[in-house]
Amino acid sequence: MFRKMSDDVRVVKVFRDGTRRVHHDHTVDGEWDTKRKGTDVFGRVIYWMANPELPEEIECVMCGETYTSDDLKELDDMGEHYHREEGCFLCPDCWDNFQRLPLEEQTKIAITNGWKEVQHED
């Protein structure tokens, strides 16, 4: 039998003895899993909220390293140069390497990745 399960969310449960705890729970066919298992033992969900969003991550198209928006802010603060445009990101190292490549190579990479601008003004 097919059951529709939701993602886990943060919930506050109250237990039989009155204690409240923060937990994770999900629904199965629209009903809290806790309720299905038995609120006496597993507690009753009295409040829930969506999980906090993961910070946005961006992946360098050349080395595959991921950076969060916080990392990028840090790079900005340190005055590091990187390349970012829609659908494309180059980390400082790769951007540095890229700029050392012969123009022909740069153009090839730019075309492969569909970049709008190749030259970057610092």
**What's the closest the beta carbon of residue 99 comes to Zn ion, in angstroms?**
13
How many residues would you count in the chain?
Answer: 122
The residues near 67 (Cβ < 8 Å, ≥ 6 apart) are 57, 58, 59, 60, 75, 89, 91
In the bound state with Zn ion, the residue whose beta carbon lies nearer, of 13 and 83, is: 83
**What's the closest the beta carbon of residue 87 comes to Zn ion, in angstroms?**
15
DSSP 28-59: ETTEEHHHHH-HHHH-EEEEEEPPPPPPPEEE
| 3-state secondary structure (DSSP) of residue 2 | coil
Among 62, 82, 83, 89, binds Zn ion (CB under 5 A): 62
In the bound state with Zn ion, the residue whose beta carbon lies nearer, of 45 and 60, is: 60
Instruction: Say whether residue 94 binds Zn ion (CB under 5 A).
Output: yes
Tell me the number of residues near Zn ion by CB under 5 A: 5
Among 11, 45, 88, 91, binds Zn ion (CB under 5 A): 91
CA 22, distance to chain mean position in Å, is 23
Which residues lie near Zn ion (CB under 5 A)?
60, 62-63, 91, 94
